[in-house]
Amino acid sequence: MKFIIQRFDGNKQFEQTYELEKSEYEGKTLLSVLLRIKQTRDITLNFTASCRSAICGACAVRVNGHSYLACDTKMEELLKEYDNPDTLKIAPIKNFRVISDLVVDWEPSIENLRKIKPTIVAKDEFSPEKGCKQTQEEFDRISKQWDCILCGCCASECNKLEADASDYMEPFVFTHAFRAAYDSRSKDPMIHLKPSIDNGLWMCVHCQECADRCPKGISAADDIAGLRVMAMRKGLKDGTGPAHAEAFLLDLEDTGRLNEIYLALRSEGVLANTAKMDIAFNLMKAGKMNPLHILGDEKIEGHDDLVKMIEAARAASKE
C-alpha cells in the first residue's frame, strides 16, 4: 500500500511516497504506521507525538483532507472509511504554519489561549481551608470542555480560519474560554468573555466542522453559542453579530419566517446596506429575495407552537 506524505524541508514543499506491506500496517494505528515509515524507510520524516494514548494531542494530522488524531485512529477503521483504497495521502493539519513535514507552529495558538485567560480566579468565598466546591450540575456544565487536548483538529477543519484568520481565533480557544467563563468557581467570567468577543466570537460561520472532527466529541460550535448567550445576557450587544441574532429572533416570533430584507437592515443598518444594493438586486433577480417582503410576511403554519417553544426556552434559561 502507498502512503503519500506531504513534506516540507524549510524551503520547498513536496510529496514523497512510501510503500508498506500489509503486515506493516495491519492491526496498527496511524501513528504506528508513521513510526514504521520513519524507523524503516526514512529517518528524516518529521512529525510530533508523545503519549500514544489520545491524551497529549500532539499527533494530529490530515488523511485524505480530513483531520485525525493519529494515535487514536485504527488503520482498519481508516481504510474502511475510504473504501479500502490502495493509497492514502497524509498531510499536516491545516490553518497552522508548517515548520517541517507534519510539524506545525503552535505558538500563535498559544498566544490566543493566553488572551482568554484560561485559568480562573476563585471567588472570595473560597479559601485553602474551605476549598472550591461545585455541585454535580455545575461540574457537568463544563466537564466536556475539560476533555479538550489541544490537538488542533477543529482548527484544521475550520472554514472561517481557512477564509480569513485575521479576525478569528481557533475553535478550541473558545472552548477553553467557555470552560473558564461558565466555571461556577470563577470570580469574574468577563475576563474570559470579553477577549472572546474582541477576537471573533461573532465571526463563526456555523459550518459545524469543528464538532464533526473533534476526536473527543466536543462541539466548539456549541461553546461559541454558549459564550454568545452569556454576552447577550450581560448586555454586551454592540456590533453586527448581536444585532443579527436579535433580528433573527424577532422574525421568528413575528411570523416564523426570516425576512431577508429586514434581517439585513436590522443587523447592519441602512447605511451599511446601501453599499450592497448590487447584491440585493442580484438576489431579487435570482428569485432569492422578494421585494414585497418589505411589507411583511404571513405567519407560518404552527406559528403559535413555535412561539410557545421560544417562551419555554426563555423560561428554562432563567431557572
Residue 21 has pLDDT above 70, yes or no: yes
> Domain 105-234: which topology?
Fumarate Reductase Iron-sulfur Protein; Chain B, domain 2 (1.10.1060)
The CATH H-level superfamily of 2-91 is Beta-grasp domain (3.10.20.30)
Dump pLDDT digits (tens) for 86-100.
999 999 999 999 999
Which pLDDT score is estimated for 255? 83
Domain 2-91 and domain 105-234 have a common topology: no
Which pLDDT score is estimated for 318? 67
Q: Which residue has the higher pLDDT, 226 or 289?
A: 226
Which pLDDT score is estimated for 282? 75
Which pLDDT score is estimated for 295? 62
Span 127-144, average pLDDT: 92
CA atoms 61, 64, 65, 68: torsion sign? negative
**CA distances in angstroms from 267 to 37, 207, 246, listed in the order given:** 53, 20, 8
Could you state, in order of their start, the residue ranges of all structural domains in the chain? 2-91, 105-234, 241-317
What's the pLDDT band for 296 if we cut at 50, 70, 90? low
Which pLDDT score is estimated for 253? 83
User: pTM for this one?
Assistant: 0.85
φ, ψ of residue 5 to 5 degrees: the values are -110, 130
Residue 299 has pLDDT above 90, yes or no: no
270-273 contacts: CB < 8 A, separation 24 or more?
none
Which pLDDT score is estimated for 319? 58
Q: Provide the mean pLDDT of the chain.
A: 90
Three-state DSSP class for residue 151: coil
Q: What is the DSSP letter of 131?
A: B
